[in-house]
Amino acid sequence: MATQEIAVKIRSQTDEVSIGSVQLEIWDQKERMRRALKLLALLWGIGIFCVILPLVHFFLVPSFLIAGPIAASIVYAKDRMILGGKGLCPHCKQDLPIAKTQDQWPISDLCTVCQSALSIEKV
Ligand SMILES: [Zn+2]
């Protein structure tokens, strides 16, 4: 597991620009497998617990048993994630917390203070 700090440029719709940074976490194969197995164990555990629930166990148990490997394979395929970051809103100049999100650029975000739509790009 490695965490990188990435400098970003934050652009408002009116083309004002400011800077910030985000934390990118990259998982190696071992870490991805660990995360996938943890999720699989959790979903199958919930599925097994649902056995004791009358009536709903007819669809909850098979649903969780099927959802487990599907969700685990999605988690396994994901090798990086933006943990979040901070910057300055280019419009109102207030602190802008950047939410946890996928590693897909540019990131779209909303300023929590002035609600302006922002586009966050790598520098
Ligand atoms: Zn703002």
Give tens-digit pLDDT for 55-98: 999 999 999 999 999 999 999 999 999 999 999 999 998 999 99
| Shared-domain flag, residues 70 and 89 | no
Using only C-alpha atoms, the chain has a radius of gyration, in whole angstroms, of: 20
| Shared-domain flag, residues 121 and 90 | yes
| Shared-domain flag, residues 66 and 100 | no
How far is the centre of ligand 1, averaged over its atoms, from the C-alpha of 12 (Å)? 9
| Shared-domain flag, residues 17 and 34 | no
| Shared-domain flag, residues 103 and 71 | no
Owner of token pair 């699989």: 40
Mean pLDDT, range 43-47, rounded to an integer: 96
How far is the centre of ligand 1, averaged over its atoms, from the C-alpha of 95 (Å)? 8
| Shared-domain flag, residues 34 and 23 | no
Cα angle, residue 64 at apex, residues 63 and 65 outer, rounded to 5°: 95
How far is the centre of ligand 1, averaged over its atoms, from the C-alpha of 81 (Å)? 24
Task: Answer yes or no: pTM beyond 0.95.
Answer: no
How far is the centre of ligand 1, averaged over its atoms, from the C-alpha of 104 (Å)? 22
What type of residue is 84? Answer: G
Q: Are 28 and 48 in contact (CB under 8 A)?
A: no
The percentage of residues in the chain with a pLDDT greater than 90, rounded to a whole number, is 80
How far is the centre of ligand 1, averaged over its atoms, from the C-alpha of 118 (Å)? 9
Quick one: pLDDT at residue 36?
96
| Shared-domain flag, residues 54 and 66 | yes
Q: Retrieve residue 119's tokens.
A: 């586009």
Taken in order 15, 17, 20, 24, the sign of the CA dihedral is: positive
Q: Retrieve residue 46's tokens.
A: 């919930």
| Shared-domain flag, residues 102 and 92 | yes
| Shared-domain flag, residues 83 and 123 | yes
Domain count, the chain: 2
Mean pLDDT, range 31-40, rounded to an integer: 95
What type of residue is 20? Answer: G
| Shared-domain flag, residues 74 and 103 | no
How far is the centre of ligand 1, averaged over its atoms, from the C-alpha of 99 (Å)? 15
| Shared-domain flag, residues 83 and 121 | yes
How far is the centre of ligand 1, averaged over its atoms, from the C-alpha of 94 (Å)? 6
| Shared-domain flag, residues 74 and 38 | yes
Structural domain span for residue 5 = 1-27+79-123
